[in-house]
Amino acid sequence: MILEGDHGGQVYVVARAAYLQCDESALEQLLADLDALVWNDPDSRRIYFECLPVGSGVPGGMGGGQVTESIWIHPEFNDKGLATAIEGVLRGLRPRV
């Protein structure tokens, strides 16, 4: 599962589908919240699913993303201290960041 903004210009989050425990509305809210922090362009953000092996890159601007065993979060959100909140949403433990 890939969350991105700016028409692929920034990959926000990459997570294996097996890792997700939240529903679609929580994913959409997470994407909206993250996008509001960096691009704030609802028309350029999207959620999509792609079959990629662990270790492969996810093409995109701002360095792209990475497929890991669990979750990859763009460093910009890590720097903002949002990693735990993002993981909480994906795990179904909280409604939003």
Per-residue pLDDT tens over the stretch 13-65: 999 999 999 999 999 999 999 999 999 999 999 999 999 999 999 999 889 99
Residue whose tokens read 């609802």: 42
Pairing label, strands 2-5, 46-48:
antiparallel
Is the pLDDT assigned to residue 86 strictly greater than 90?
Answer: yes
| Confidence at residue 89, expressed as pLDDT on a 0 to 100 scale | 98
| Confidence at residue 94, expressed as pLDDT on a 0 to 100 scale | 96
